[in-house]
Amino acid sequence: MQYPEPIAKLIDSYMRLPGIGRKTAIRLAYFTVTMNKDDVSMFANALKETKQLLKYCSICGDLTDENPCAICQDGQRNQSELLVVEQPKDVMVMENMKNYHGLYHVLHGVLSPMDGKGPEELNIKSLLKRLQSNENIKEVIVATNATPEGEATAMYLAKLIKPAGIKVTRLAHGLSVGSDIEYADEMTLSRAVSGRTEM
Ligand SMILES: [Zn+2]
């Protein structure tokens, strides 16, 4: 007995999402059938628009629907601090903490020779260009995750940036080793930012 084709397609689609196994995909597919038409359209449109309207900010590399992004355009932000994160979702984590008011730069990954990720694969060139062309930036705060790759990337960036006379700091420990900043609670993260140390 095979699933009707539209259901089979839906199951396949759900299974492409992270953390969704076959059983959950089947449950979600059958649930979708019971949803009303408007809700399904809204859901489908949200998926489509995510791909159509979102792009990467040409300055910081964050996900945005306007270029430059709202943060890069905001003159009220502290222009002397620039916080470097691995992924766009990390920007949201920091913003939700409401304790940091500077600029961002998104690397889109970390150095990981095993996975073929070298400096060229990351958003590093644009970071250096940004530091060269913007004299307001006095401090780069490296907020890569506390994993071996995150640490290696932080060291690499410090080596590149420090000769330019820009202070490079790393989030304070308190973030447990091997942890992603997205799982840190706001208090811990807030303390990690205010207690950052120079590299
Ligand atoms: Zn931006």
pLDDT category of residue 198 using cuts at 50, 70 and 90? confident
**Residues 93 and 188 placed together within one structural domain of the fold:** yes
**Residues 11 and 93 placed together within one structural domain of the fold:** no
Asked, for residue 187, whether it belongs to a domain, the answer is yes
Respond yes or no on whether the N-terminal peptide bond of residue 6 is cis (omega within 30° of 0): no
Please tell me the predicted confidence (pLDDT) of residue 147: 87
Q: Give me the amino acid identity at 83.
A: L
- The contacts of residue 188 (CB under 8 Å, 6+ apart) are 174, 175
80-130 pLDDT, tens digit each: 999 999 999 999 999 998 889 999 999 999 999 888 899 999 999 999 999
Please tell me the predicted confidence (pLDDT) of residue 166: 95
Mean pLDDT of the chain: 91
Q: Is the pLDDT of residue 176 over 80?
A: no
Task: Give residue 196 CA to ligand 1 midpoint distance, Å.
Answer: 23
Q: Which two tokens stand for residue 12?
A: 């396949």
Asked, for residue 56, whether it belongs to a domain, the answer is no
Please tell me the predicted confidence (pLDDT) of residue 172: 75
Q: Which two tokens stand for residue 156?
A: 């690499």
CA 74 to chain centre: 19
Please state which of the ranges 48-52, 140-144, 187-191 shows the lowest mean pLDDT: 187-191
**Residues 179 and 88 placed together within one structural domain of the fold:** yes
- How many domains in the chain? 2
Distance, in Å, from the CA atom of 19 to the CA atom of 23, rounded to the nearest integer, reads 11
> 83 - beta bridge partners?
104, 141
Over its C-alpha atoms, the chain yields an Rg (Å, rounded) of 20
Task: Give residue 112 CA to ligand 1 midpoint distance, Å.
Answer: 25
Residues with Cβ–ion distance below 5 A, ligand 1: 57, 59-60, 62, 68-69, 72
**Residues 109 and 176 placed together within one structural domain of the fold:** yes
Please tell me the predicted confidence (pLDDT) of residue 175: 59
- The contacts of residue 89 (CB under 8 Å, 6+ apart) are 182
Asked, for residue 155, whether it belongs to a domain, the answer is yes
**Residues 94 and 27 placed together within one structural domain of the fold:** no
Task: Give residue 61 CA to ligand 1 midpoint distance, Å.
Answer: 6
Task: Give residue 60 CA to ligand 1 midpoint distance, Å.
Answer: 4
Please tell me the predicted confidence (pLDDT) of residue 134: 85
Q: Which two tokens stand for residue 112?
A: 């990981």
Q: How far is CA 140 from CA 11, 51, 167, 191, in A?
A: 44, 31, 6, 17
Q: State mean pLDDT over 179-193.
A: 75
Q: Is the pLDDT of residue 173 over 90?
A: no
**Residues 96 and 191 placed together within one structural domain of the fold:** yes
Contact status, residue 140 vs residue 165, Cβ threshold 8 Å = no
Asked, for residue 66, whether it belongs to a domain, the answer is no
**Residues 163 and 93 placed together within one structural domain of the fold:** yes
Q: What is the CATH number of the domain that holds 15?
A: 1.10.8.420
Asked, for residue 57, whether it belongs to a domain, the answer is no
**Residues 102 and 15 placed together within one structural domain of the fold:** no
Please state which of the ranges 110-114, 154-158, 187-191 shows the lowest mean pLDDT: 187-191
**Residues 105 and 156 placed together within one structural domain of the fold:** yes
Asked, for residue 54, whether it belongs to a domain, the answer is no
Task: Give residue 63 CA to ligand 1 midpoint distance, Å.
Answer: 8
Please tell me the predicted confidence (pLDDT) of residue 186: 77
**Residues 24 and 80 placed together within one structural domain of the fold:** no
Determine what percent of the chain is predicted with pLDDT higher than 70.
96
**Residues 106 and 188 placed together within one structural domain of the fold:** yes
Q: Is the pLDDT of residue 169 over 60?
A: yes
Please tell me the predicted confidence (pLDDT) of residue 163: 92
Determine what percent of the chain is predicted with pLDDT higher than 90.
76
Q: Is the pLDDT of residue 44 over 70?
A: yes
**Residues 136 and 174 placed together within one structural domain of the fold:** yes
Asked, for residue 63, whether it belongs to a domain, the answer is no
Q: What is the CATH number of the domain that holds 186?
A: 3.40.1360.10
Domain that holds residue 152: 76-198
Please tell me the predicted confidence (pLDDT) of residue 199: 84
- The contacts of residue 168 (CB under 8 Å, 6+ apart) are 139, 140, 142, 157, 158, 161, 162, 198, 199
Asked, for residue 60, whether it belongs to a domain, the answer is no
